[in-house]
Amino acid sequence: MARILSLFRPPPILALLGRGNPTFCKISMDSRAREIFRAAVEAVQPDRVVRQSIERQDDSVIIDGRRFPLRHNLHLVGFGKAVLGMAAEVERILGDHLVRGVISVPHGIQQTLRQHGKSHLLLREDSRIKVMEGAKHNLPDDDSQKAAEGIKQLASELTEKDLLLVLISGGGSALLPAPIPPVSLQEKLDVTRRLAAAGATIQELNKVRRALSLLKGGGLAHHAHPAQVVSLTLSDVIGDPLDLIASGPTVTCEVWPEEVLSILEQYKLLNSMPASVKEVLARQGPRWKENEEDSGSSGEAVNVVIGSNTVALTCAGRRARELGFRPVVLSPGVCGDVRLVSRLYGLLARFACSREEPPPEIAAEVLRLGPEVGAESWDLCRTMQVLGEGRAEGWGATCLLAGGEPTVELTGKGRGGRNQELSLRVGLELRGLELPPQGPVFLSGGTDGQDGPTEAAGAVTDGGLYDEARAQGLDVDSFLSNNDSYTFFSRLSAARRLLVPGLTCTNVMDVHVLLIPAIPIKIS
């Protein structure tokens, strides 16, 4: 424990910066929180993560420590909201060996990138990669199905001499719909919608999707055999499970039809399934059958996560240290109801800001909440020990970082997303603590740049939120009950607390930043 905690101790100069140094106070706590968030987003830009993950050495490329020969044998496919920028960077680095490529991207993304001055994420005019736009409103459609067919065709024509580079990011599942004939795209969508309405778990929904899909659950890698397949993934899922990101097209995850039939029967949907679905599920045995002549092949796909919430938090921590904070990463997997998550952050802030030994009830409640919000007891104990030592020994200001994807229970019809609501609720939890720069500041932001159906990615808050809202005639509770956090922050103090980064071109879930100022030390 002591060895791990020692990693968080700052150089002496940073400890001095946190003790009332005038230079440290010139930049507001709000501005520093936003700067730390910006660093997190920059760390997972699609071109940057590709550039840091592939190394060109003459006529070979090194990925994840493995060397792959380049002999004008490189083919590329991709699907997801960020793969256009990923593909552009791959072509810049390996374009002289690229034969062809097909990528499936959201409708209108190329025009949007041009409008926002992001041309470096676009393919060059003479690119060998074909761009196919589809999935309006993030839903599978005929255009994204045509793109999936093009990707399948490219993969199916490869030989053992070829290298297929697969680029995957959030939104990839909707951009790669390929139902097994005779199932239609609409029939597959209807089946999964009815299951979701019946209360099926995400694991059950994924099993059904894979069983009815040609390319998910390892299907793409199967069609590309015997070529060498390497996938580079920008993860938007807690824990970075490769079989769940875009439903794992390059990760073998066998689903037996009998298992899916059991799920449909459990939710009393089996008898009402379309004839096409019943036909596919009536086929016995696993979907992919081993080919005896290929059984000795080592053609396993290489799957590498090149960007994630963990990567974003790591770089955010570096920026926090440059700004005079001691970074402490709690967890990249915070989840659960925003009410519980906000309570956790409020408790940690009170624990860290206490000028005396915090009551043991605070630590007890923090540990009780942990399992409900995806935070391990070990991580909570480590965090509280670091915060406690920082307070007792006067280490200076601290930046608590976390990430993940909390959930909001919808009780109203207002505008806003989980980040704005979390910030609003944390502001209430911080009520009574000192105001910045003597008191804590909290930021919650979505790395995709949008929080719900709004232009904002999140918001910044502190202990003065409640009184500030009350002075302006805003009833916080009524906005919360209507899930109308965006309207609240828009009306509060000319919207100065909103976080509006614009087009971010990436997505690795959310980033939470809790800035704790240096607590004055009584020297006897």
Mean pLDDT, all residues of the chain: 90
274 assigned to some structural domain: yes
498 assigned to some structural domain: yes
**Confidence class for position 206, pLDDT limits 50, 70, 90:** confident
CATH number assigned to the domain comprising residue 265: 3.40.50.10180
**Confidence class for position 202, pLDDT limits 50, 70, 90:** confident
CATH number assigned to the domain comprising residue 366: 3.40.1480.10
Same domain, 268 and 320: no
* Cβ 82 vs Cβ 45: under 8 Å: no
Predicted pLDDT at 207: 86
Tell me if the bond preceding 437 is cis, omega within 30° of 0. yes
pTM (2 d.p.): 0.90
Phi and psi at residue 422, to the nearest 5°: -65, -45
Same domain, 338 and 280: no
Predicted pLDDT at 445: 98
29 assigned to some structural domain: no
198 assigned to some structural domain: yes
357 assigned to some structural domain: yes
- Both tokens of 422, joined, read 């979390």
What average pLDDT score do residues 41-48 get? 98
Predicted pLDDT at 351: 95
- Please tell me the distance from the alpha carbon of residue 88 to that of residue 111, in angstroms, as a whole number: 15
Residue-number span of the structural domain to which 72 is assigned: 43-284+300-307
Output the CA–CA distances (angstroms, integers) from residue 465 to 28, 38, 128, 472, 492, in the order listed.
16, 23, 53, 11, 9
Phi and psi at residue 270, to the nearest 5°: -60, -45
Same domain, 344 and 485: yes
- Please tell me the distance from the alpha carbon of residue 383 to that of residue 381, in angstroms, as a whole number: 5
Same domain, 126 and 255: yes
65 assigned to some structural domain: yes
Same domain, 244 and 123: yes
Same domain, 480 and 403: yes
192 assigned to some structural domain: yes
Same domain, 412 and 511: yes
Same domain, 62 and 185: yes
113-150 residue pLDDT tens: 999 999 999 999 999 999 999 999 888 999 999 999 99
Least confident of 197-211, 221-235, 414-428: 197-211
**Confidence class for position 522, pLDDT limits 50, 70, 90:** low
In the predicted structure, residue 334 carries a pLDDT above the cut 50:
yes
Same domain, 85 and 228: yes
Which one of 307, 338, 373 terminates a domain? 307
Same domain, 223 and 329: no
Number of domains in the chain: 2
1 assigned to some structural domain: no
In the predicted structure, residue 14 carries a pLDDT above the cut 60:
no
Same domain, 271 and 324: no
Same domain, 249 and 138: yes
Nearest one of 99, 113, 236, 81 to 90, comparing CA atoms: 99
151-160 residue pLDDT tens: 999 999 999 9
What average pLDDT score do residues 510-522 get? 86
- Please tell me the distance from the alpha carbon of residue 106 to that of residue 504, in angstroms, as a whole number: 15
